[in-house]
Amino acid sequence: MSVAKSKWLGDSKPISKAQAKDQSRADARRTSHERDLFRRIRTRDVCSVARQLATLLRAGMPLVPALSALVEQLRAGGGHENPLAVIMEDIARDVNSGSTLAKALGKHPGIFSNLVINMVAAGETSGTLEQVLLRVAEILENRVQLAAKVKAAVAYPLMMVVVSVAVVVFLMYVVVPSITEIFIEMERDLPWPTEMLIAVSGFVRTYLLFIAVAVCLAFFGLMAGYKTKAGRMFADRAKLKLPLFGNLFLKLELARLARTLGILLVSGIPILQAIETAKQVVQNRVIAGAMGSVKDMVGKGDSIANAIRKTGLFPPIVYHIITTGQMSGNLEEGLINIADMYDGEVELATKTLTSLLEPLVLLFMGAVVAFIVLAVLLPITEINQVL
């Protein structure tokens, strides 16, 4: 064993009980870090690691020293207990002991997806690891940006709806009863808007607790159902049929799928393996199932364009572009073009939805407040006329 390897692994003598305890503590420490990874390591962190490692390799630094330098950088930026630094240190140790980088990454599936592992393996085989790492960073960064745009398009109107409902409940529970109590004590015939307002306010005051409990139970029930296979499939199918948002979700998944598949093929990964890896990147189970069918048909000798067409899920433009790419021998570029097209459409759709839903929510809130004001002012006007 070389001196370098001994530095990472120690000698090959049987370990003592004390050494075994130390090793056990180290393993427990790594396991503890692994549990916290989803909370403390973001996709952006993995992007940064891939890009920095590619830069070090392009500068001419061998892989193991580059990994060591990366660990030092992570510790300097996030402290000695930076969980990503601990993971990268384990990877550097494995590579130094003779493992490939792809296999070392594969020991941490919670951090590095099959997409990253397969691309790195292809890069190591072809001798283009630096370029592949840059492509990995590009895919992950693009995924984060697209997801952020869609979340913004969905979250902002949703937040406005929640605030609007909270304001209406507050008015009905606190403000309206104190005002309408005066009208009730007068024992006069009230206008129908006022009677409706009093009825709704009374219902809210009487059943608010039950309504809150029912909403919470429904929410947690839906979350529990979503975690089941059938529930997740039903929800993913429903997402694609939602008005306004369904087409946006479909385009988001198609952009992610096409870019991933194109870059995998550019990296030299075989078509069936590339389809399987790209399928795992897709978050919608319906589309993932369709890609599973595509893989089966391609494995039996069908063309990828024809297989995609047979699923009936993808827009015609997708398989027409793929057909053209196959005929010209440039399928990868066709897939990247599809991804670029849908990236642009997703960005435009998010801006359109945000600009459309914001005034709709404000209009709804204005209508509710206007109705409350009208219901309060009508009896006051009638009283003034009598007097």
255 contact partners, CB below 8 Å, separation of at least 6? 146, 338, 339, 342, 343, 346
Helices (H), the chain: 3-9, 17-40, 43-58, 63-78, 83-96, 101-106, 114-126, 129-170, 176-185, 192-226, 229-241, 245-266, 271-281, 285-299, 304-311, 316-328, 331-386
Q: What is the pLDDT of residues 167-193, one digit of tens each?
A: 888 888 887 887 777 777 776 777 888
Cβ-count burial 98-114 (b if 16+ within 10 Å, e if not): eeebbbbbbbbeebbbb
CA distance 93 to 8: 6
Among 104, 131, 127, 130, CA closest to 117? 104
Share of the chain above pLDDT 70, in %: 86
298 contact partners, CB below 8 Å, separation of at least 6? 271, 272, 275, 304, 307
Q: What is the pLDDT of residues 317-336, one digit of tens each?
A: 998 999 998 888 889 889 99
For residue 366, is pLDDT > 70?
yes
Exposed / middle / buried, residue 147 (Cβ in 10 Å: 0-12, 13-18, 19+) = middle
Tell me, what amino acid is at 221?
Answer: G
- Which tokens in the block code for residue 206? 């009487």
Prediction pTM value: 0.69
CA distance 57 to 64: 10
DSSP classification of residue 312: S
CA distance 286 to 233: 6
Q: What's the average model confidence in pLDDT over 88-117?
A: 89
